[in-house]
Structure 1
């Protein structure tokens, strides 16, 4: 049964079909749906839509692994500056990381999820997960779960902490500080790594997944056990297993902003960050040069992901958006989705930056299925507007 949901916000001329598609998509969502859609084309915001109770364009949601996009953008800036070298060993910046046979792992391999340190043998306590330095210290001593470089698997709750420690060792500053100074504040982005107390009133708690009986059966039948790679990567092997759905609902997580999954953002903030990176926005030049965009959009890992147990494709840190989900996007499109359903990316060839959030945790986790329709509508409008 479909129902009508009132869509609010604006679209630029030529993007009316995006509003129509958003309206059509929402008609099939559950009764408590709330979400946002935003897009920029060549630095101009052309889509700014939202729907649902207790929601407007400035509402903030937990965006889970879409946070990783902010972390990888910081690394890209430092590589562009010459402060970091993708092909230097991580241990060059962080000597303790060499323990357990990880001495030859390069920064490029680490960002491409090839290092094999997806988690810790005994898992992490909740206070550790909120502290990237605590996670990094534990992982420095951890032996890899596969021969580094020999395979790849999603470092779901660890890659941001590992990248952050490299940034700290190379610059003397925490990753979230560099992000705030060079990315968030200059562009006025509603995308926070560490949500200030004064913005707490804009945050909405994540609503848990609401699967149908058929979907519950699929979840129950999923392969894996308490100590497999996926459980280790998502900290389900800990004494107090992580409830991923509730993670952003912790003030400790929101305040600390761990760089793997602790970010808080609106769709405007997600799309705005990718516009800032690739095309420029708010009258400012792009943060990344064409050369850097080419380097960080280049595919590094493609094939069977040992954690996801599925075919996945990663660029340098970022997900290869066109290869994982939307083949109609331009080659070199890069971004990062989040477990709750968020999606964010840049398609430099189309001059497009996209951001989507939702309040209800999506089934089965990861980029919500409705993104397929919304991305296509936005992309077609962007191409037609050339």
Structure 2
């Protein structure tokens, strides 16, 4: 009776975790943060499972915690596995007793097994019910530790519990493993759709929507230096399209995008906001550094985008400020004025104003 109750309680905890899994996976937090939070949630599930154990000997307890820790590795990944293990192991250390070493060993073992299931290169493309059965069986390998270590009355008390834990691991893996997999795939598709909505389909650079979203995240952070925005316009691009065709023009746009992306730093943002207009966000840098990046972009476009005997040049306008925030519209307006001044001066150049309007 006590063993059956253990299984029912564990299934109830897994049902609650499914809700938490869905909610957290739907958040727009950074991937590492989501995985850490989910790992803590699964660790708390393991702790709650330890609150109602079956005692087979003094200080030796049996419960359903290992499925929670195994799931953390399988459906969240290494970060989730580590956080779940830390939370669960801390609780087991607090509980103490003669079975502490056995309990911790089984938790580490199932954490490793779960993480192996979660590795992309080892993970099957689709989790089927049969694979979930094998997952549950692999998590149940930890039961062998009890068979190897326990002796006498402790072993006699342990043996009748094994079928119930085995049933819980397999049944829980099939029912909730498939639910976790579905929720994970659904959340991943949703994030991909959101990402695609912020990308230019031709060049894979950010579009105006993506630029609007990223601007406040990138340009309003506390920084040591200033912030810059570059507005880049390909010179005489309409003539290129009219002369060589739109397919050729598309190749030029893709080549220009690659040239810009190869000229900026890892944390900079490249967006295509119009037919032949690009924007680069430059957080946390000096004015001289922004100027160098702008010139590097102009030169790279000239080198990379010119094909089939046609030279492609670009006019670059800049906006730079050192103190306080500036709206995207204000930064674009300032850079637009500089860019048209570059056009007026003969194109294929960068204009970087010495002073910025406030």
TM-score, normalised relative to structure 2: 0.21
Computing the radius of gyration from Cα coordinates, the structure with the larger value is 2
Higher helix share goes to which structure? 2
Work out which structure has the larger RCO, using CA pairs closer than 8 Å and 6 or more positions apart in sequence.
1
TM-score, normalised relative to structure 1: 0.20
